């Protein structure tokens, strides 16, 4: 799982360079995120623009990262239609701040 | 998708990942985007459950049969793993978002999106059939 991170306007923006976060990649995603969030920025924005698909394992991994990061905040950006659908159906869109686009 | 699609995959997360990618780019590519997305979500949850529970991560074959029928995409998924607990499909209650759940969404998603769910255990096989409305 390839991630890239940069600080923009005080937020750590982490982009996922993978088109799927699923049962096959959820553990790897969590491990890579654990390394990426060592940067002490108070807000982390997860840029999901390149992620076309996320299943419930992927959703669980994003929630796990949110808990790892607490009390710092995990926000999400640029959800594809399928990813947005999973967050909406499970109502997990209610626990994240979701930005329509990634910070530029 | 004009005819039926049949495939057999090994029951592990990597094979499920590859099969869904293949279906999205192949047999499901002719469906409307929303329908294709729904099919991927439901099939992922059904297949992951078989890998994790029916086969308890010990592997085994999974057969998929898909065809377009009046009303949507019919999917029949068969495995030779353990039967459903109590011989019935899980109710799939939605976990509460405020509890920050890290799992338990699978059957909720399947039941939210699939119609006409039927489960049958016969001759050591689990057969799950459902329709994804178009």
Q: How many helices (H) and strands (E) are present in chain B, helices listed first?
A: 3, 5
Dist CA A56 CA A26 (whole Å): 10
Q: How far apart are CA B123 and CA A21, in angstroms?
A: 35
Computed over its alpha carbons, how large is the radius of gyration of chain A? 12
Which domains does chain B possess?
Answer: 5-133 (3.30.565.10)
Model-level ipTM above the cut of 0.90: yes
Domain boundaries of chain A, sorted by first residue: 3-99
Judged against a pLDDT cut of 70, whether residue A30 lies above it is answered with yes
Q: pLDDT-based confidence at B3, cuts 50/70/90?
A: confident
> What is the percent of chain B where pLDDT is above 70?
99
Start-to-end CA span in chain A (Å) = 22
pLDDT in tens, A8-22: 988 999 999 999 999
Q: Say what the pLDDT of residue B2 is.
A: 60
**Average pLDDT score over residue span B111-116:** 98
The two tokens of residue B61 are 């074959």
Closest CB to B108 among A53, A60, A90: A90
User: Cβ neighbours of residue A41 under 8 Å, at least 6 residues apart?
Assistant: A7, A10, A11, A12, A72
Confidence of residue B1 (pLDDT cuts 50, 70, 90): low
**CA of A9, closest CA in chain B: separation in Å?**
28
Q: Which among B17, B37, B94 has the least Cβ separation from residue A24?
A: B17
Q: Which of A18, A20, A21, A24 to mutate to test the interface with B (most CBs of B within 10 A)?
A: A24
* Residue contact A55–B112, C-beta within 8 A: no
Q: A23 to chain B: nearest residue by CA?
A: B13
pLDDT in tens, A41-91: 999 999 999 999 999 999 999 999 999 999 999 999 999 999 999 999 999
- Which of B43, B90, B97, B114 is most worth mutating to test chain A (most A CB atoms within 10 A of its CB)? B97
Distance from CA of B20 to the nearest CA of A (A): 10
Model confidence at B126: pLDDT above 70 = yes
Topology of A3-99 in CATH? Answer: Transcription Regulator spoIIAA (3.30.750)
B76 touches chain A (CB under 8 A): no
In the block, tokens 């009046």 appear at B70
What value does the mean pLDDT take over residues B26-40?
94
Rounded to 5 degrees, φ, ψ at B124 are 75, 15
Nearest to A78 by CA among A55, A101, A52: A101
Q: Is the peptide bond before A71 cis (omega within 30 degrees of 0)?
A: yes
- Indicate if the alpha-carbon torsion angle B31, B17, B38, A74 is positive or negative: negative
Span B61-107, pLDDT tens digits: 999 999 999 999 999 999 999 999 999 999 999 999 999 999 999 99
* Mean pLDDT value across residues A24-31: 97
Question: Which residue of chain A comes nearest to B113, CA vs CA?
Answer: A89
Interstrand relation of B61-69 and A20-21 (parallel, antiparallel or unpaired)? unpaired
| DSSP letter assigned to residue B41 | H
């Amino acid at each position: 799982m390839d991630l890239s991170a940069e600080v923009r306007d005080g937020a750590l923006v982490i982009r996922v360079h993978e088109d799927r976060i699923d049962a096959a990649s959820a553990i790897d995603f969590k491990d890579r995120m654990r390394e990426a969030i060592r940067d002490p920025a108070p807000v982390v924005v997860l840029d999901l623009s390149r992620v076309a698909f996320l299943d419930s394992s992927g959703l669980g991994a994003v929630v796990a990262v949110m808990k790892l990061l607490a009390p710092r905040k995990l926000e999400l950006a640029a959800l594809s239609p399928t990813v947005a659908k999973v967050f909406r159906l499970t109502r997990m869109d209610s626990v994240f701040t979701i930005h329509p686009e990634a910070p530029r | 998708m004009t005819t039926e699609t049949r495939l057999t995959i090994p029951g592990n997360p990597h094979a499920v990942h590859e099969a869904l990618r293949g279906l999205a780019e192949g047999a499901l590519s002719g469906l409307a985007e929303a329908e294709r997305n729904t099919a991927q979500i439901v099939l992922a949850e059904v297949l992951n459950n078989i890998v994790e529970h029916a086969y308890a991560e010990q592997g085994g074959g999974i057969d998929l049969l898909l065809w377009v029928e009046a009303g949507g995409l019919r999917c029949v998924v068969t495995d030779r793993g353990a039967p459903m607990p109590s011989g019935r499909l899980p109710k799939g209650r939605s976990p509460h978002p405020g509890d920050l759940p890290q799992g338990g969404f699978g059957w909720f998603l399947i039941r939210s999106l699939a119609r006409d769910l039927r489960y049958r255990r016969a001759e050591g096989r689990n057969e799950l059939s459902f329709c994804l409305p178009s």
